[in-house]
Structure formats: structure tokens, C-alpha cells
Structure 1
Amino acid sequence: MTDFETLRQNWLVHLASERRLSPKTLEAYGRDLAQFSTFLDGHFGGKPTLSDLAALKPLDLRAFLGQRRRDGVGNRTLMRQLASLRSFARFGERSGKLTASAFAATRGPRIGKSLPRPLDAKAAKAVTQADIRAAEDRETWILARDAAVLALLYGCGLRISEALALSRAQAPRSASDTLTVIGKGQKTRMVPVLPVVVTAIEEYLSLCPWRLPPEGPLFLGAKGGPLSPRIIQLAVEGLRGALGLPSSATPHSLRHSFATHLLGRGGDLRAIQELLGHASLSTTQIYTRIDSARLMAAYDAAHPRAQR
């Protein structure tokens, strides 16, 4: 194993144990560095070493990004790959084994900031109702389960991974309960639970045919195992046709809807940040742009002086 591979493994352990990145993020970062290593194999004519990395110039890194672009990779993925390489270089620099100057000096591609696409309030509420799918050839408890999960996403602003990570013991028992949610980076937050969410979960629990031990997952699949996020994604895909929803309607758009609708009703931005579990207020501020865009659209449509 080369010194480069040793440092790579140490970096991944650091990301998992100290940074506490999610398994999917770790997988992506590991894949990014493996692709960079493959590029360097051809660039240097052999397995790269830390000495090779120390000699890298921004031109070399741009050559890597250029190759990835020719492979059909988009700007967002290129930016993430550059972020992965910078993280690795900073780790190596702190270890005294690498310099990060070339990585810091390399500029990534420009990315246009796209706004989240929430559902309107009527559509968001409809998605969380089990009776909307009553005509489907599915067991009643499964429809109730899907509705309970979607109610958590819209009513509490949870990510789908956070909802499916809840244990049976965490199920709220009354509207005065709060949920303890473990989000990205293993950060814990407290989220209040609406009565309609409690009712949806109680309906699911009353119909679920499987035993639900306190330490086990709250939501189960059709065969009694942990529920896959893909099942909920497919449920929302089915609802698009039934409700005439746009292709942007996904489980995650319910989280966007939660934040946008709170803000539109006068919710405090800092409070919404805490409810969503955002580390930075700037991440939450994007929802103010959605609200402003809607206000201007209404202004252009209704104000007499805006007509052309």
C-alpha cells in the first residue's frame, strides 16, 4: 500500500468517526478520491504517491476536472469532487504529509443556484392523506404507513432518512410530544409534532400486522423488515398522476413545503433553521427567495401598473 492509499484510508476513517458524515456521503467522497487516483495513474504513469500530490499544480487538477466533464459529469458533481479533494488535501496538510495550496487555488465550475420547488399547501396536504390512494390495490396498513411517513415529512420537516430512522419507542403519543431527530452529522434537534401527524402514526400502528419492539424501526416494509426510502419515493411518484403534481414532487419536496409554508405564514427564520436542522442560516435563507419570487409573481399578475 502506497503512502497515498494509507492517507486516503485514514482520511475516510476521520470523516466517519470525527466528522460523522453519512454513509452515502462517505461513499461519494471515497469514490471521488478513487477516480482521482485512477486519473493520476495515467497522469504520472504509475501509482501516485504523496510526493506526486505535493508537486501538483492547479493545471493538473483542471486536467482531472476536464476529463470528468468529458465523461459526462455535470457541474454539481464536479464541485463536489473538488470539495472532496480539498478536504483530503487539508487533512493531509494537518497531518504534515501534504500541502493543499494547489487544491485551494483551483476554481470549480460556476453553478446557477436553483430554488427548492415546494408543493402548494393544498397539494402537500393531499399527499399526506391515505384515502387519496384508496383505489390502489394495496393493503390498508401499507397505505396508512405511507401516509404517516409523508405526514412526518410535511408536518415536521423531516428528511426521509430521519423519518425512517425513528424507532417504535420514539413514536409520539400526543400532540404535546416532541420528536428527537438525529440529522446530518449526527446533530440532534427537537421537533414539535402536530396532532394530525400523531393521528396518522396512530392509524398506522393500529393497522400494522407486524410486531414492533420498542428498539426496532417504527416503519416496516411489507415483509416486516425496515422500510426502504425507495418505497416512499414510488408512493409519491404514483400520487403525481392522481393529483396532477409536477415531476418535481418528491418526498423531499414536502420538507421544502414545510419550510416555505411556515415562512409564508410569518414563521421566524431562525426557528425554521432549528426545525430543519440546518447548520447555517444561509442554507435556510434560500426559502426567503421562494417567498419573494411568489410575491413578485402575484404583483406582476395583479397590479394594474405591472400589466403590459
Structure 2
Amino acid sequence: MPLSLFDALPAFEGYLLHEEALSPATVRQYRADTEKLANWLLTEYEHLTGWEQIGARELRVYMQQGRPAPARARRLVSSWKKLWRYLEDVEKLAMQRGPAELKSPKLPSKLPQPLSQEELSRLLNAARENANDDKGLRDWAILAFLYGTGLRISEALNLKLSDVEHQGGDPLPTAVRVVAKGNEERLIPLSATAQRALYQWLRVRKIQARGHSPLVFVHLSNGKAIPVRTVQAMMHRVAVRANVPAARATPHKLRHTFATNLVNVGRSLEEVQEALGHKNSNVTRRYAKLNRSRLKAAADALPDVD
């Protein structure tokens, strides 16, 4: 019996989660992309009965009608390639080349825009100054921890108490174990900022958090996990109080700031790459371009020839 367009998608989602080890957010995006494509195909081509009937021509028409922005177009092609691979390798369908014939649009290379030290300080102070002292401590601890580790927001919010490491009898945490993209684990030594934030938060969490959640960052009132969107909304409110543009007050900006500051104090790109968990060194090299004084020093070091 042929596999209909929608019949394949639940198993495709499980394949992305468990075999490709993609993040839940990426899986949701890919599932949504393929569902929208399936809906459109059944509307435009009523004769279609299965994915193996779809080639590059139909995909190009979809793109031409939708006119997605370059970043979204790249993601669409990526999600379709994953679906085609699943249908070929797992469902054993004789697929046409389809997305393999499409070219992903080139994206403009944008340099990261880190926060200045003054902006960072204002954000942290504004987060801490809250009428609810416990909530102020939690908000400050999350922001300081994100800056002090360079972790992705999803990595920080998924951190478990058992992932926190101490050395000897020292009450200050020294490192955390993080499961990164691709289900790879890495050990993150904690900076002084991250140590201080995590130590102060864990002291309060131990006494006041309800429930038995294994997560480090939880709502004290009920012990439930903190969603990413809650942190994003919190940062928006904090940015208003700190007089920092909302577009610059995001969890990822704290990650950019962490990396930029490491490069600025002379840490190697290899060290920064490992700290950030980048698989592709070209992603990390963007931070070197921000450090003009370092580039000038490299140019000045070149022996002069008359």
C-alpha cells in the first residue's frame, strides 16, 4: 500500500529525534515545513498519492509561489533533504532527486554583535533589581550563567543537578556537563561569573524550590522547568529597565559576548570553538574578525622588507 504524504510524517519526526539526534526545536521546524509542503502539494496536485511522485519541479513551484526569505529557503531545502533521505533509507521508496537538485541561497555573512561591558552590566543589575527578591536572583543568575559559560539557552535550561561538578569539598561548582547538538557531551569549566551565579542560585533553590525536579533552573513556586520563551520575555523586560535595545538583549547575544570577550583577551580560536561547542571552525572564526586590534598586531608583526 503506498505511503500517503501525511502518513510518513509522524515516523519522520521520530527519526529526526532519535536517529539524527536533532534538537526538539529543529525537529518541530522540520515537521512544520514538511506538513506545509504536503498541504500545498495536495491542493495544487490532486493526482498525487505519494512522495515518490514529487520532483524538483514541484518544489521549485512551491518556492516561487511562497517566495521565502533566503534563511527560510535554506531551511526548507534542508528539511526536504532530510525527509527524502528518510523516505529512501527507512521507507525504501524510490524517490526522485527532488531537493538534491535545488540550490540553497547564499546568506550574507553577518558578524556577531556582542554587548558592550556597560550594556552587559546594566542588564545584570536590572535583572537583579526586582521587587520579588527570589525572582530577581533567578533572573540575574540565568543571565550571568549564560554570559559566564557561553551556553545555548536550551543547554542551560536542560542542565540537571547531576551535571554540576565540584572539586573536593569546595562548595563552589567548578564545571558542568552539557549535552550539546548531536547528542554530544562536553565538559564546561566555569568562569568566576558562572561560578558565583550558579552557587548563589543553588543555595536558594535547595531551600525554596518545591517538587523534585532534576533541573538546575526551575520556578521556585512549583519546581517546574523554565521554558525558553519565559527567559526571552524576561530579557525583554529587563532590557527596557536597563535602557538596552530589545534586539540586543537575547540569550544568543550573551553567547556572542562570551565568545568575543574570550578572543579579546587572547584565547585561541580552537579554545573558543571548544567552549562554544562549534563543530565547524568557520563559525567560530567570525569572532576573530571583530578583534581589529588583534588583526593589526598580526599585520605589524610581519617583517618589513625595503
TM-score range, shorter chain: 0.7 to 0.9
Which range is displaced more, 242-251 or 13-22?
A: 242-251
Report 1:1-308 matches (<5 A).
Answer: 2-5=2-5, 6-53=7-54, 56=55, 58-69=56-67, 73-95=68-90, 96-129=92-125, 132-133=126-127, 135-137=129-131, 139-173=132-166, 174=170, 177-208=174-205, 209-211=208-210, 213=212, 216-224=214-222, 225-246=224-245, 247-292=247-292
- 1:207-230 Cα shifts (integer Å, max 9, x gaps): 3422474x6211121532222223
Native 8 Å contact 2:148 2:192 kept in 1: no
Native 8 Å contact 2:178 2:188 kept in 1: yes
- 1:235-291 Cα shifts (integer Å, max 9, x gaps): 321232333322222121001111111112111111111111112112212222333
> Structure 2 CA distance, aligned partners of 1:89 and 1:194?
44
Native 8 Å contact 2:127 2:139 kept in 1: no
Native 8 Å contact 2:174 2:195 kept in 1: no
Structure 2 gap segments, 5+ residues each:
297-306
Native 8 Å contact 2:128 2:139 kept in 1: no
> Structure 1 CA distance, aligned partners of 2:62 and 2:179?
36
Structure 1 gap segments, 5+ residues each:
297-308
> Structure 2 CA distance, aligned partners of 1:169 and 1:102?
45
Instruction: Give the secondary structure class of the aligned counterpart of 1:113.
Output: coil
- 1:92-139 Cα shifts (integer Å, max 9, x gaps): 33354233523211123342222222102332244334xx345532x2
> Structure 2 CA distance, aligned partners of 1:230 and 1:146?
13
Give the C-alpha shift of residue 151 in structure 1: 1.5
Native 8 Å contact 1:121 1:261 kept in 2: no
Native 8 Å contact 1:145 1:201 kept in 2: no
The aligned residue for residue 304 of structure 1 is none
* Paired AA for residue 230 in structure 1: R
Give the C-alpha shift of residue 4 in structure 1: 4.0
* TM-score (normalised: structure 2): 0.83
> Structure 1 CA distance, aligned partners of 2:122 and 2:106?
38
Percent of pairs with identical residues: 26
> Structure 2 CA distance, aligned partners of 1:292 and 1:92?
48
Native 8 Å contact 1:93 1:100 kept in 2: no
Give the C-alpha shift of residue 294 in structure 1: 10
> Structure 1 CA distance, aligned partners of 2:120 and 2:284?
20
* Paired AA for residue 291 in structure 2: D
- 1:147-183 Cα shifts (integer Å, max 9, x gaps): 1111221111111111111223334545572110111
Native 8 Å contact 1:151 1:200 kept in 2: yes
> Structure 2 CA distance, aligned partners of 1:51 and 1:169?
46
Instruction: Give the secondary structure class of the aligned counterpart of 1:190.
Output: strand
* Paired AA for residue 178 in structure 1: A
* TM-score (normalised: structure 1): 0.82
User: What RMSD in Å do the two structures reach over aligned CA positions?
Assistant: 2.6
Give the C-alpha shift of residue 47 in structure 1: 4.6
- 1:18-52 Cα shifts (integer Å, max 9, x gaps): 11111111111111111111121133214531441
> Structure 2 CA distance, aligned partners of 1:221 and 1:37?
39
> Structure 1 CA distance, aligned partners of 2:21 and 2:77?
20
